[in-house]
Amino acid sequence: MSSSRIDLSLPQLEAFVQVAASGSFRAAAAQIGISQPALSRAIGTAERTLGARLFDRDTRHVEITAVGRELLPVAQRILRDFDSALGELGEFMQGRSGRVTVAALPSVGAALVPAAMVALRRTHPAVEFTLIEAPAEELLVSVEEGRADLGLSVRPAAQQRLRYEHLLDDPMVLLCRADDPLAARGSVPWSVFAQRPFLASAPASSIRPITDAVLVQKRMMLRPALEYPSVTACGALVAAGLGITALPRLTLGLMSMKGLATVPLVRPQASRAIGIVTRIGRTLPPVARAFMAILRSAEARPTMSPAARRLAIRAARAPSIRT
């Protein structure tokens, strides 16, 4: 079965377009930056491939033929498309375009990712984003399997083929009702949970290992009054007066704080370590590396109110634990 495909190279098309534009082999060769004999050979090869002349020429004149006039708009379009494609590749290679897929814990995604996206788009307006929200275990698997370029999560287990780069410590705070006597205190020790109904996060949550570690350290054998399935549900349970709990500060952005209050937890002061997780051995696209640079900078860090900063400084004087 015969094919109608015509195999002309890009250099041949460029030589043809330049000769057609200038009406001179000499001028076209100078424009392209090759010798005139080399340009003539390129045109001759193209004509043999086509089986037709592209130019009628003598020692003084060069005139495009009917076949050449038919080829000219096609060749111009091919060269434009090629230049455009190379330009897009250059934008991608320099990190100015492309897609970043980020997997994040819901609280961390809400606190860090929007500001980082805005900051990157100031200099990289063509960048596109995909945001995956998932609990820690599922999130880390998505990075390990390559479905996400990077994750914003707690430290992965040692056996996972993942690299962890620490970003920040998310301090644990007590969450109670605003009319609870605890809300008026400057700080509260973890031992308070032995005296009040304690609401625990689900076992698969990134919060549960932190609270369990502190309770073990304090030798407190607590039976939770309830296990909540989400941070949003936790806020509603506390607001209803069903108990108190310990949460990382960043999770507070996921709930309505109406009727609720937070107090720094001390003795010990605990925090949730949050960092950038990437797969070992994977080369990230330039735009993903640019996004990581934004995350490392102050532009993506959550801000703290003056009152919260004073409470954090006061709590920092106590012994701490980081998990």
Same domain membership, residue 252 and residue 153: yes
Cα(117)–Cα(132) distance, integer angstroms: 14
Same domain membership, residue 202 and residue 104: yes
Q: List Cβ neighbours of 242 (8 Å cut-off, separation of 6 or more).
A: 197, 199, 225, 226
Within-domain flag for 48: yes
Q: Which of 93, 118, 137 is the last residue of a domain?
A: 93
Count: domains in the chain: 2
Q: Classify residue 62 as left (phi > 0), alpha (psi -120 to 50) or beta.
A: beta
Look at residue 305 in the predicted model and tell me its pLDDT: 42
Within-domain flag for 197: yes
Cα(159)–Cα(144) distance, integer angstroms: 11
Domain span at residue 191? Answer: 98-322
Q: pLDDT (tens digit, 9 = 90+) per residue, 196-229?
A: 999 999 998 999 999 999 999 999 988 999 999 9
Per-residue pLDDT of the chain (323 residues; tens, 9 = 90+): 345 666 888 889 889 999 998 888 989 899 889 998 998 999 999 999 888 999 988 767 888 999 988 899 988 888 877 776 665 566 555 555 588 999 999 999 999 999 999 999 888 888 889 999 999 999 999 999 889 999 999 999 888 889 999 999 999 999 999 999 999 999 999 999 999 999 999 998 999 999 999 999 999 988 999 999 999 999 999 999 999 999 999 999 999 999 999 999 999 999 999 999 999 988 888 888 889 999 998 666 665 444 444 444 444 444 445 54
Q: Which of 93, 125, 154 is the last residue of a domain?
A: 93
CATH of the domain at 69: 1.10.10.10
Cα(288)–Cα(284) distance, integer angstroms: 6
Cα(209)–Cα(202) distance, integer angstroms: 10
CATH of the domain at 261: 3.40.190.290
- 269-279 and 162-177 beta bridge pairing: antiparallel
Token readout for 248 is 């990382």
Q: Classify residue 14 as left (phi > 0), alpha (psi -120 to 50) or beta.
A: alpha
